[in-house]
Amino acid sequence: MLVSTFSNAHSWIEAALDELRAAAKAAREEGRASLALCLAGGLTPEGVYRSMAALPLGGLAAELWLGDERVVPAGDAARNGVMAARAFTGCVWEPTPRLRLWPDAETEGEAPAAAARYEAELLAALGPEPTFDLALMGLGADGHTASLFPGSPLLKEASDSTLRPRLTAVARSPVPPFARMTLTLGALRSARRRIFLVKGADKLPALRKLEAEDSSIPASLLAGPGSLVLYLG
């Protein structure tokens, strides 16, 4: 995998925009009329999404999926969907992209059914083997990405051939909100291109492990030839 380091936010964001342009160009060249993007949550990518929303992107019916979501009340500021909706407000793409939010789950008990509904939506929209044109990933200081945290049983599940592959799952976070819903490793590996958006010195230890494809961190399980890290120092 390749790590590109930037000293200013403008260049960092422009590199992410180039990845969106490339994904759109590839879709057009392949004769496809749609574009499926997977978005990271958290605070890091909001500026990138705002710039993407302002980038003219015509002729493709885009769908924006979320890599994970927090189990909190609907409309709570902690929801990744709230951030994504805010960032893409006023989007200039034609047609306007469809933001595919996770179903509401306000308690951990409601999360499995909500995650199952999101998986059903993915299958209905993208087919029996859903593929994202571009997945924008985050990186936590502990090496997590989406809501795939170190030590999660979901990491072992991905390599267990006796289990039915699934696209979504309920996860536990070591920090609040503790209950999460997430795409699985299998779903995220489907992306034609995976881009990690990383910002801040506190992420450097995890970034070095990711660069080395150190399997002790979940993000490294999504590394490889089809992935790129854009790091803003």
Nearest Cα to Cα of residue 126 among 151, 161, 100, 105: 100
| Residue pair 168/115 in contact by the 8 Å Cβ criterion | yes
Domain ranges of the chain: 2-232
pLDDT tens, position by position, for the chain (233 residues)? 899 999 999 999 999 999 999 999 999 999 999 999 999 999 999 999 999 999 999 899 999 999 999 999 999 999 999 999 999 999 999 999 999 999 999 999 999 999 999 999 999 999 999 999 999 999 999 999 999 999 999 998 866 665 667 999 999 999 999 999 999 999 999 999 999 999 999 999 999 999 999 999 999 999 988 799 999 99
The tally of CA atoms less than 13 A away on the side-chain side of residue 19 is 28
User: What secondary structure letter does DSSP report for 148?
Assistant: B
Give the up-direction half-sphere exposure of residue 69: CA atoms within 13 A in the CB hemisphere. 31
Which fold does the domain 2-232 belong to in CATH?
A: Rossmann fold (3.40.50)
pTM: 0.95
